[in-house]
Amino acid sequence: MLQTFFLQATATTSTWTTPIMMGGMILVFYFFMIRPQSKKAKEQKKFITELQKGDKIVTIAGIHGTINKMNEDGTLLLETSPGSYMKIEKSTISMEWTANINKVNTPAK
């Protein structure tokens, strides 16, 4: 008798349940994973394009320095200490760490 009860319960499920659940999962992935990642990539690209000579930056490797020269090929000359320069790619600049270091150096009003 118990076995026939479970067989009857599975027969009444809708054929639309699986597509609706899959659609819901796709929406969750989009709104919680894909969309924030693309938004962060756009912010990083905007941050890189707005850099100027004299800005203090931090690379993803943790190297601190000041931009001395920006080249057209996507590289820049980073002054790590007076008279010491490194040539790095713009894509190696960390947006979060650079914002933190500039926030610490900015005096409170």
pTM reported for the whole predicted model: 0.66
Q: Which amino acid is at 62?
A: G
Report pLDDT digits (tens) over 75-104. Answer: 999 999 999 999 999 999 999 999 888 887
pLDDT digits (tens, 9 = 90+) for 7-51: 555 545 578 888 899 999 999 989 899 999 999 999 999 999 999
Q: In what order do the strands lie in the sheet with 84-89?
A: 56-58, 64-70, 75-81, 84-89
Question: What whole-number distance in Å separates Cα of residue 36 and Cα of residue 96?
Answer: 15
Structural Rg of the chain based on CA atoms: 26
